[in-house]
Amino acid sequence: MFVRLLNSTGILLFRFLLAFLRCLPEVLFFSLVHVVEVLFFYIFSRRLAKISAESLDIAFGGKLDAQEKARLIRNSFRHLFVGLAGFLFDYRRPDRLQHRFSLEGREHLDAALQPGRGAVIAVAHFGPFVWMLLRLAVYGYALNIVARPPRSDIFRWFFDRALSICGMNIILSVPPRTCITACLQALQRNELVVTPIDQNYGGPGRLFVDFLGRPAATAPGTGIFAQRGQSPVLFAYAVPDGQRRFRMILMPCVAPGENMTPAQIMERLTTVLETVVRRYPDQWSWMHRRWKAVPKQGERAHD
């Protein structure tokens, strides 16, 4: 009873905070975001720097000097923080998004949906990865986002509410069987299923796919959805294009009828992600322990 009351109070306070923030002019809002972001980075800098430096050493073979690593770590955290804040600011302001994000590759998405089997959109924790999805929602695409259950009741409430307002639906990644069923049903309705592909995964059926020079435990879900639904797969990411302006890019990766296994699909997508990360290293989230899991014998991507 006390826990429920505490959660309800937290949600109520969070709602008041959101209402206040949404009333601020854009310049003032993002100035405040900058202050909060600096504060958060200062508080967690030691832990963030340690994890991020380990990840950068894996990816670049220890070739980066301390100054360059510090720059990438700082920028990576800033881009991720601002991207999440931008989603919070814009999710009730769809009119802003047409100026906020240009969209390259929409023709690939429209062509992918022509057969009526939906499409899988692979994303990564890269720049404004949540913010950019609002752009697709504004265009009228039906989005289903696969996500891990939020640990906090407040965040669970916020994302359920915010995404539903934008016309997006959350599909929880657990239990896996329920997740797969829901995703396949969405594809059958010719909708989009959005799945992250760059998190360490310790669940059943995991695949170890080479990423930035080392095997990384990868969830097979994206490949399973595409294979069973006979659906195309695109990779989506966004890069800065001016002050609080971005280019969102959609890249076709797997076409229907290619007859690829889930492992082969994940290998191809991971290769695409690796290319993008190496091109824009300050946009990817280095503070995640991507290579935390160690493969056991036989745990490799295979046909």
| 52 assigned to some structural domain | yes
Number of domains in the chain: 1
| 110 assigned to some structural domain | yes
Half-sphere exposure of 283 (CA within 13 A, CB side): 21
| 285 assigned to some structural domain | no
Least confident stretch, 91-95, 242-246, 256-260:
91-95
Q: What is the pTM of this model?
A: 0.91
| 260 assigned to some structural domain | yes
In angstroms, the CA 279 to CA 170 distance is: 30
What's at 8, amino acid-wise? S
Q: Tell me, what DSSP letter sits at residue 149?
A: P
| 107 assigned to some structural domain | yes
Find the helix or strand (DSSP H, E) in which 169 lies. strand 168-172
User: pLDDT-based confidence at 93, cuts 50/70/90?
Assistant: confident
C-alpha distances (whole Å) from 103 to each of 97, 138, 246, 251, 286 are: 10, 12, 9, 11, 26
| 294 assigned to some structural domain | no
| 74 assigned to some structural domain | yes
| 297 assigned to some structural domain | no
Domain span including residue 10: 2-279
pLDDT of residue 1: 38
Find out whether 282 and 75 touch, Cβ atoms under 8 Å: yes
